[in-house]
Structure 1
Amino acid sequence: MSTIPVMIPWLGEEEARAAAEAVRSGWVAQGPRVAEFERAFAAAVGVPHAVAVSSCTTALHLALVGAGLGPGDEVVVPSLSFIATANAVTYVGATPVFADVDPATGNLTPETVAPLLTGRTRAVIAVDQGGVPVDLDAIEELARPRGIAVIEDAACAAGSVRRGRPAGADADLAAFSFHPRKLLTTGEGGMVTCQDGELAARLRRLREHGMSVSAADRHAGTGGAAVLETYDEIGFNHRMTDVQAAIGLVQLGKLPAMVARRRELAAGYRELLGAELAGRLVAEPTYGTSNFQSLWLLLPDEAPDRGQVLAAMAAEGVSARRGIMAAHLEAPYKGAARAPLPVTELLTSRTLILPLFHSLTAEQQERVVAALKGAL
């Protein structure tokens, strides 16, 4: 019996050809394909500027640097998120302040953020958890009058929609991931989107060691004196390669089909699970739609320990996964939470993520649900 994995990226010959063409071109570092991918991604999201980087973690890092965050500042983040969200805050010397989340969507709300705001709060990182769009408007309404920046961690949300607009479209700064667990993948990679042209230009310099003229532009120069770059501030090596961007361009063209298929599969799970269990799946908000990057389920109170459930499913050839981690329970942030986080601790301990990928068949879905019900 073959094992059903939790995720398989939708990659094929078109991506392979695009990567091979980049290799054959002789330009494999950051270059013209990265610039093309940035333009295409910005157009897809509906933002003026997109800056390609090596991961969503480096995207968050650049966003925080661009927003002026540093030592002594506090940034409100959900603990219920991959640890990179909190780590990026730590990278700039600021302090992550952990907030609880809505039990249905797993996202921050004004009600969970407001009690944690202090005179040192300089930003909130609002995560679109598992692809479920956060209510960015409501959080900005709370934060902006106080002079607090809001950064959207849209790592999982390419293709999700909030109030008729793509996730990330209305954020001053947003960060996306192209990890293989996401819908759109470049192997590793990320993107920062922003509204301000001067900020975008600075982020492009910062991703390349603070270099005033990119390596691609210097090598593209023809005739005349050599272009001599300067380094006016400390930057980073956060670049994406042209090989990755070539794959990303193909993937971007597939994104609408990816989202449609995953929404179809999520609806299929709801039907197969039955009303009681389907009611325990992550919920979509009234103001938006999810790309269902992850489909998680809160186990019933009477269910066995989650580890037992996962082991029983694995014995049936189904690779489900534990729910989203809670950063405040991990060693680097142990004891850092300033207030109880009961919803976060419930969701991180009692949820599991079901297999969901483009090529998942009806027969495989039935196997997943049978394995889950048997384990329960």
Structure 2
Amino acid sequence: MIPIALPLLGDEEADAARAAVLSGWVSQGPQVAAFERDFAALVGAPHACAVSNCTTALHLALTALDIGPGDEVITVSHSFIATANCIRYCGATPVFVDIEPDTYNMDPDRVAEAITPATRAIIAVHQMGMPCDLRAIAAVADRHGVILIEDAACAAGSEIRVNGHWERVGKPHGLIACFSFHPRKVITTGEGGMLTTADPELDRKFRLLRQHSMSVPDTVRHGSPRVIFEDYLTIGFNYRMTDIQAAVGRKQLERLPELVARRRALASRYTELLGNIESLRLPTEPDWASSNWQSYCVRLPNRLDQRTVMQNLLDRGIATRRGIMCSHREPTYSDADQRHDLRQSESAQDHSILLPIYAQMSNDDQLYVADCLKGQLRQV
């Protein structure tokens, strides 16, 4: 079986996890603090705060900004459902806008049309690791005095060209960026997430809220020669990362450049292998974007049934995934205010499939995937 994804974990990660276990400090502690420093330095962010996953990161971002009932947050339906869910966690209203058909990312023109007096924030998603048009979206946000948050769940290692210079996603281009370290992502801690920001006050709030709003962190209490009693200043959450995860994450960060380089090579080869098929639409990378290629998504011709193609590939030992889901089509969002046309989002979900891509993928396996997909296209 050729899987859709496969994390690259080795002896280095296993040894790091073992050392954390044997240290006696396995919850949020010195390894988490070191992982935060390493990640901030890598992406060029003044502050990085580790949490339990990207969903909790997005929830903390909105909570720290006091976004709640009566507020609207513009985002895409074409994203994993967590993007919309975290808005509802806060009692705010998600307002869905459509995507660009080539990049599968938020269409800046649709964002501008969706701004209302109730709009407090925009959550722009770097879908499948492909950077969205932050420059255009940020211009809309600035023009209307709206907060910009990046859902960078898939985008660790991706880059954007800003004023002629390449900068990693995570260096603050909006107010906050949120990352995931799920096993489907380029680097993993099993589960885990990170928030980056240039705002020290927001970083302080993240750290307070992720640990039940405890006034004195347990690392300080355990290291103090005097007895300290903590206070709980507001309602907080248990959104902590463990030191075991962080130790693994630090080793994964060391691998990130080679992982991204390998994925970019695989994406380029897919383009070579599949580029001569007129009916197959390949992903587009703008000249100002450098994707980590967390996923490689192709658009099937409308005449082909997506599920049938996927099943036929699975029967041949190839795992795929359907195009990115649309939250507004799920039962939990049947009552959502669908005031904007989402036809591009729906088309992407219905006619796209994600092909296997991971660092360990062999050239032979990739050629087999391409040949089997070509065979499906020739049958119709």
TM-score range, shorter chain: over 0.9
Contact 1:326/1:345 (CA < 8 Å) preserved in 2?
A: yes
Q: Give the match for residue 281 of structure 1.
A: 282
Q: Give the match for residue 77 of structure 2.
A: 79
SS of 1:276's partner is coil
1:277–1:40 Cα change, 3 Å = farther
Contact 2:181/2:190 (CA < 8 Å) preserved in 1?
A: yes
SS of 1:258's partner is helix
Structure 1 Cα separation of the partners of residues 61 and 256 of structure 2: 24
Cα deviations by residue, 1:9-68 (Å, 9 ceiling, x for unpaired): 000110000000000000000000000000000011101000000000000001111222
SS of 1:82's partner is coil
Q: Give the match for residue 179 of structure 2.
A: 176
- Residue 276 of structure 1: CA displacement? 2.9
SS of 1:275's partner is coil
> Could you tell me which of 174, 185, 188 is aligned with 2:191?
188
Structure 2 Cα separation of the partners of residues 166 and 227 of structure 1: 40
Q: Give the match for residue 107 of structure 1.
A: 105
SS of 2:49's partner is strand
SS of 1:265's partner is helix
Q: CA RMSD in A?
A: 1.1
Cα deviations by residue, 1:335-363 (Å, 9 ceiling, x for unpaired): 52212211001001100000000000010
Q: Which stretch shifts more, 171-180 or 271-280?
A: 271-280
- Residue 213 of structure 1: CA displacement? 1.1
Contact 2:275/2:282 (CA < 8 Å) preserved in 1?
A: no
- Residue 278 of structure 1: CA displacement? 9.2
Structure 1 Cα separation of the partners of residues 223 and 297 of structure 2: 48
Q: Give the match for residue 128 of structure 2.
A: 130
Gaps of 5+ in 1: none
> Could you tell me which of 139, 142, 145 is aligned with 1:144?
142
Q: Give the match for residue 167 of structure 2.
A: 165
- Residue 248 of structure 1: CA displacement? 0.1
| Mapping 1:1-376, distance limit 5 Å | 3-163=1-161, 164-169=166-171, 170-221=173-224, 223=225, 225-276=226-277, 280-302=281-303, 304-336=304-336, 337-376=338-377
Structure 1 Cα separation of the partners of residues 88 and 296 of structure 2: 29
Give the structure-2-normalised TM-score: 0.96
Contact 1:314/1:320 (CA < 8 Å) preserved in 2?
A: yes
Contact 2:138/2:174 (CA < 8 Å) preserved in 1?
A: no
Q: Which runs of 4+ in 1 moved over 6 A?
A: none
Structure 1 Cα separation of the partners of residues 113 and 174 of structure 2: 23
Contact 1:109/1:138 (CA < 8 Å) preserved in 2?
A: no
Structure 2 Cα separation of the partners of residues 365 and 277 of structure 1: 20
